[in-house]
Amino acid sequence: MKKQAQGMDLYLLACSNFAEALETSDGELAGEAATQISKALDLLDIMDKSQLLQGK
């Protein structure tokens, strides 16, 4: 359960960072947010990320 809580915290941080990156056109922050999202999905043990990214 702790792993999932960490994953959710990281996912929320990543979403916030990604939104800020969009507003400021900060490519480095967007890349960091993408990495955070990937790590968060690993922690949350979400379905195959390739399916998620394709919208399936």
pLDDT tens digits for range 3-48: 888 888 999 999 999 999 999 999 999 999 999 999 998 888 765 5
Residues near 20 by Cβ (< 8 Å), separated by ≥ 6? 26, 29
Rounded CA separation 56/12 (Å) = 22
Model confidence, pTM: 0.71
Three-class SS state of 13: helix
Helix (H, G, I), strand (E, B) or coil at 56: coil
Distance separating the N- and C-terminal Cα atoms of the chain: 26
